[in-house]
Amino acid sequence: MNYTVYIPQDIEEEGKNYLLERGHKIKLGSGLAEEVLMEEINDCDAVLTRSNAMINRKVIQAGKKLKIIAKYGVGLDNIDIEEATQQGIYVTNTPQANANAVAEHVLALMFYLSKNLRLVDRELRTGNFAIRNQLYSMDLGGKTLGIIGLGRIGRLLADKARQGLGMKVVGYDPYVDATSNLSLEIVTDVEWLFKNADVISLHLPLTETTKGIIGKREFLWMKSSAYLINASRGGVVKEDDLIQVLREGRIAGAGIDVFEMEPPDKRNPLFELDNVIVTPHNAALTKEASICMAMDAAVQIDQVLSGRKPDWSVNEPLIKKVFL
């Protein structure tokens, strides 16, 4: 039987071709407004979604034939997993596809900040060659990297920073036991991590528990010479608090790939600060990772539509849908 896969935002050809070669039909979306999603998902058996399409309760209920919602990526904050579970729909993600891309992006932000690249590039372009003697950068070797959230990305970042840069790496994750066999030191006191790390990198999912979990208190724990990097979800940080401490010079700077509101307003104060580097939530979007995310999501869909359990399900549907 031919099944229809709804793709609200286009993906790489490799993922679409995988589905087509296995006899599935593809329905590309025409917009991301709730009413558009509800109308277009109505006759579809699966949805392959990126981050900007909000697959909420209303959209899920409109998809009366849905058997799987496959996320192109790792974060699941745009999918109502509870509603999907109640409706007998699998939810999957692609946990192995983009970890390297995000870890490399974090390293790039670390280099950009620690070497003052924004300022020295701007000054040199104005003819100020003397900036080389006016502004010191910072070695990363020997410094302490604090990682909050020790999933695949956090662990891979730890390996790269320790092995490649000679950094001391400490990590905090309430779901990781301190005796775990990881190549970094696990700390149980998050305040200690904030107070002692030279660079802090956030790798937290956005949930009701983590929303706004990093704010002024945590920033004031940090060294004035320390940097914050967020390539997880914007909502885990209280953005106004971050802007305040950056303006006051209470921390040295920040590398921000994600925002509380996306896309961010072009007047966002973060864009005006010289001690900030911003990127448009594209840490995971290398060509290689994008192909992997498209393929991995497509594989999950084909597994479910073929009557199999998906490899990377994040839920267990309460009912099993009959495939007709």
**H, E, C per residue of 161-223:** HHHHHCCEEEEECCCCCCCCCCCCEECCCHHHHHHHCCEEEECCCCCCCCCCCECHHHHHHCC
CA neighbours closer than 13 Å in the CB half-sphere of residue 8: 28
Please give the average per-residue pLDDT across 247-258, as a whole number. 97
- Tens of pLDDT, residue by residue over 44-90, are 999 999 989 999 999 999 999 999 999 999 999 999 999 999 999 99
15-46 as b/e, with b when 16 or more CB fall inside 10 Å? bbebbeeeebebbebeeeeeeebbebbeebbb
Query: Tell me, what's the pLDDT at 161?
Result: 97
Catalytic residues: 233, 262, 281
Instruction: List the structure tokens of 317.
Output: 């549907």
Q: What tokens does 313 get? A: 């399900």
User: What is the pLDDT at residue 184?
Assistant: 86
Query: Running DSSP on this structure, what letter comes out for residue 87?
Result: T
Q: For a pLDDT cut of 70, what percent of the chain falls above it?
A: 97
Instruction: Compute the average pLDDT of residues 290-299.
Output: 98
CA 212 to chain centre: 16
Q: Could you say which DSSP state residue 262 is in?
A: S
The whole-number pLDDT of residue 320 equals: 60
Global pTM value: 0.88
pLDDT by residue (tens digit) across 122-156?
999 999 999 999 999 999 999 999 999 999 999 99
Q: Does the structure show a pLDDT above 90 at 176?
A: no
Pairing of strands 144-148, 90-92: unpaired
Average pLDDT, integer, range 180-187: 82
Q: How far apart are CA 311 and CA 179, in angstroms?
A: 28
Spell out the alpha helix ranges (H) of the chain: 13-21, 34-40, 57-62, 81-86, 99-114, 117-125, 152-159, 165, 190-196, 216-221, 239-247, 287-305
Q: Is 212 left (phi over 0), alpha (psi -120 to 50) or beta?
A: left
Strand partners, 202: 148, 230
Three-state secondary structure call for residue 132: helix
Give the length of the chain.
Answer: 324
Give the three-state DSSP class for 225: coil
Compute the mean pLDDT over every residue in the chain, rounded to the nearest whole number.
95
